[in-house]
Structure 1
């Protein structure tokens, strides 16, 4: 069942999953990702294999998002969150850990503040 999900409601692996989808990782790598509990997995058919992409908790994994955002606009990280502004998009900001906040900014920029999603957990 599909439902409208607020970016603020995403957390843990769901946040990483939607960042990966917004960035087009599934299409670029020709894979299918899913979140289960706190982990992000690559669907291998009869099961899953852990997929190492957690921009919500690792700034190293956020590098590809940061690069894209800074090329398109102004990304500002704070100790208590992040904000992003781009021409033609506007401005968005989120509080929380910087990695999670910038991941939310990225998803908002790419998919909108609220978008239709299939709950995964």
Structure 2
């Protein structure tokens, strides 16, 4: 693998801790990076992603699409030398989000009273 094809990435988690830096090929897909993040996720965290779809990677304010390669995302990384920091957002799983939505959709009883003196 030629040296110029390697990119050094660091992943910033929600609490400010980092995973990496990780040297990877520019041919890696974002989905492959997400798999690597899940495998290296710290065990002491309260929020733990279980599958690739639980994660969003954000660089320069743009969400990186899972089917794109690191080379295709490079314009959002910029041409800065050194380690590139990518922010990691953990999304709630679909089943959990649906159950929370059902609770929110329950009708709420509104109590109103008027007093005329």
Q: Which has the higher strand share?
A: 1
Instruction: Decide which structure has the larger Cα Rg and report it.
Output: 2
What is the TM-score with the length of structure 2 in the denominator? 0.27
Write 1 or 2 for the structure with the bigger share of helix. 1
